[in-house]
Structure 1
Amino acid sequence: MHLLALLTGIILLHATVNGSPQPSAPSPTGSSSSSFPTTTKYPLPNLGNVAVHDPNILHHAGAYWLFKGGVHLPMYTAASLAGPWTPLGTVLDGPSAIPKQNRSRPWAPTAVAWNATFYCFYSISKAGSRNSAIGVATATQLDLGSWSDHGALINTGQGNGSDIYPYTVSNAIDPAFITDQSTGQPYLLYGSYWHGIYLVPLAADLLSVTEPERQNTTTNLVYVPEEKVKPVEGSFMSYRDPYYYAWFSHGKCCGFQTGFPAAGKEYSIRVGRSKDVRGPFVDQDGRQLTAGGGTVVYGSNHGTVYAPGGVGVLSGAEGDPDVLYYHYLNTSIGFADTDAQLGWNFLHYEDGWPVAVSGDNSTGTSESSGVVVGPDYTLHVGSFIFVWGCLWLHS
């Protein structure tokens, strides 16, 4: 009996050292292993170690500042993209000044530094509605209590200016920001489903759209004309000489608790490029983004990463590589919107096209830390055989 207890202890210790089974993920109706692509075409993410949906990251004063959708727009800071992330509180000290639904839970913020001022653009909306708005808050420093909410910058559905094109056909959510490298003109990107993603010029103080009644100042950047459902949203624009890159999320973003779309119909991160900030943008096959184009740079992979989107890019400084960051669902954790995790990868460029690479350095030679570790069943079987043999001899 002492021998049996000793050998059983060895097995338990071996299982502890070599990994224990991960907690089972929820099994929504209609889920199956085929719902989660196992491709290794895309690298596993470097872990951000924070739960976040539609992340936005600002690199300032040697630190990273993370903004996410939620009650009054939560803020975090960290010395590294891997965290740990310190919660700082919220941008807004109460509901948004915009008199629309969900005023207390703005979506998809984007923070930028511009002319010694910090701007935080945010969305007010609800699922399936085009009665939306993009608001903006400003601060002179990244401290709590220093932000001023200026209310709506753009309205769609209802509200001031919503009767002017393109606000009559678009959905005012998911703001992003870019400047024309040659003129310094600031622009706002926004849009979701309906008529896709638009680019509009901003005034110098970033608090209004320049000449909103002039239709020729707006540009439709991304559109899916041949499909009834037009699942493009979550845009971002980056610049790497000589190209502007229009990034966007394509597919179903969330709401997977009751089932999954066909494989490949979930979120993926896509891109097109142009030498003009206003486009037209084309994908790697030469197809315009307004004709349904878009090269997939990052999608579900390894059976672990599902529906990556909410994309952003941190431009590398002084020779450092650009960083692609996003949220994704880890299939071992769960599929609620609140389960979304921060992931990131360095970008390499091949013939001017961005490619996500594995590893936590610019060479892409070391393996990502995004893998889910499970039990070593081969070694466990060997242990049981060893125990059984000892017990047989002992008998």
Structure 2
Amino acid sequence: MLKNYSWKSLLFAITASSSMLLNKGLVSGAAWPLTGDVGCHDPTIIQEGSRWYTFCTGQGITVLTSEDGLAWSTVPQIFLNELPWWANYVPGHPELDVWAPDVSTFNGRTYLYYSISTFGSRTSVIGLASASSIDAGSWTDEGAVISTTQAGNDYNAIDPFFVVDQDGNPWLAFGSFGSGIKITAIDPSTMKPTGDIHSIAARSGGIEAPSIIYQGGYYHLIVSIDSCCQGTSSTYKIAYARSESILGPYLNEDGVDAMNGGVTVLDAGNDRWIGPGGQDVYESVIARHAYDAENNGAPILLISDLNWSNGWPTY
């Protein structure tokens, strides 16, 4: 079942190949000085009123909250029990292991897309829950959105990202490895796909976790590349390309198409923060995880202001 509670009643005392990849070099970023409960993988971030929320991969979807965006506390997870329909799409799914949530507001309602899968498999489904607000806390199960199978698809239905284009039309980007990043139009009445699935980025070395933000006349596609989930052995990086159309083509700073692996590295981490990725872009903020070399490779939430230089994203 979905968690049903009032947030106001909670006590917040819970403590590619090198020719296709243009690398700007090691970018550490001016991260916000976070404190408290900052363990997180694949964050999605949003501000509701004056309060911040971050949803993370974890048991039933881990939820963090903050009054100022700096001091974070854990509050109860979204899902208390596995939804019955998850097993129809992903047999053998390990109960409450829920991946890569994406939270957004649209037409006065809050929507939470998320992924159900198992590591290394394309047998996956993107699900959806909705609520009148995060603070209200009563989430409605909206069911399955997109599914894939290992045998039937060369792309993977995980890592969703909801985006509205400049004409007010909603879209869902998603994808991990395989044939890469996809995008599909969303029916605003159901918040589920309508029409074709389009390919916008692919890379033999691994590409996943799309975010799309409009800035300066371009749609900027921000992705994670290479390999995550190996602690300090992870090779994850955050990279980008841009397009005048939400459907592409997306080009990197050298003009190489993202469908041919053309992305520019934004953040390759540093000696402490290894393998940054699983990012989410919210307005002028970018959240991501990185593996902390000073804490046994634990995944930690990092947040920075997202800035722009010569028409390209930077920290």
Per-residue Cα deviation, 1:118-168 (whole angstroms, up to 9, x for no partner):
11000000111110000000111214751011221111007xxx96xxxx2
More displaced stretch, 137-146 vs 271-280:
137-146
- In structure 1, C-alpha distance between the alignment counterparts of 2:46 and 2:207, rounded to whole Å: 24
Residues 66-116 of structure 1 show CA distances to partners (whole Å, capped at 9, x for unaligned) of 111111112222122222x23221222321342221341110000111111
Shift in alpha-carbon separation, 1:145–1:43, aligned structure 2, 3 A? closer
Return the letter of the residue paired with 1:48. Answer: L
Change (3 A) 1:44 1:141: closer
**Counterpart Cα distance in 1 of 2:193 and 2:44:** 22
Shift of 1:313: 1.5
Alignment of 1:342-361 (within 5 A): 342-356=301-315
Q: Determine the structure 1 residue equivalent to 2:163.
A: 178
Shift in Å at residue 235 of structure 1? 1.2
Q: Which residue of 2 aligns with 1:333?
A: 295
What is the aligned partner in structure 2 of residue 219 from structure 1? 198
Letter in 2 for 1:247: I
CA distance in 2, matches of 1:110, 1:354: 21
- How far did residue 40 of structure 1 move? 5.8
State how far apart, in whole Å, the 2-side matches of 1:62 and 1:154 are: 33
Alignment equivalent of 2:74, drawn from 62, 65, 87: 87
Tell whether 2:55 aligns with 1:67.
yes
* Cα distance in structure 1, aligned partners of 2:263 and 2:98: 28
Query: Could you say which residue in structure 1 is the equivalent of 2:286?
Result: 324
8 Å contact 1:103–1:124 — kept in the other structure? no
Which residue does the alignment assign to 2:213? 238
Q: Does 1:293 align with 2:293?
A: no
User: Are residue 117 (structure 1) and residue 109 (structure 2) matched?
Assistant: yes
Q: What is the TM-score when the length of structure 2 is the normalising length?
A: 0.85
The SS at the match of 2:111 is strand
User: TM-score, structure 1 length as denominator?
Assistant: 0.68
What per-residue deviation string (whole Å, max 9, x for no partner) do you get for residues 180-216 of structure 1? Answer: 112x1111111101111100111113432113xxxxx
Letter in 2 for 1:237: I
More helix by share: 1
Larger relative strand fraction: 2
Structure 2 residues without counterparts, runs of 5 or longer: 1-24
Shift of 1:348: 2.4
Pair 1:156–1:324, CA change in 2 (3 A):
same
Asked whether 1:187 is paired with 2:174, we answer no
Which residue matches 1:205? 189
For 1:10, the equivalent position in structure 2 comes to none
Percent identity among equivalent residues? Answer: 29
Q: What is the match of residue 272 of structure 2?
A: 304
- Structure number with bigger Rg: 1
Q: Give, in whole Å, the separation in 1 of the partners of 2:258 and 2:159.
A: 18
How far, CA to CA, are the matches of 1:104 and 1:347 in structure 2? 32
Does the aligned pair in 2 maintain the 1:119–1:139 contact within 8 Å?
yes
Contact 1:91–1:144 (CA<8 Å) still a contact in 2? no
User: Secondary structure in 1 aligned to 2:229?
Assistant: coil
Are 2:127 and 1:135 aligned?
Answer: yes
Q: SS where residue 209 of structure 1 aligns?
A: strand
Q: Give aligned pairs, total.
A: 284
Report if aligned partners of 2:41, 2:289 keep a CA contact under 8 Å in 1.
yes
Distance (whole Å) between structure 2 residues aligned to residue 206 and residue 288 of structure 1: 32
Taking the aligned partners of 2:215 and 2:30, their CA distance within structure 1 comes to: 24
Aligned AA for 1:285? D
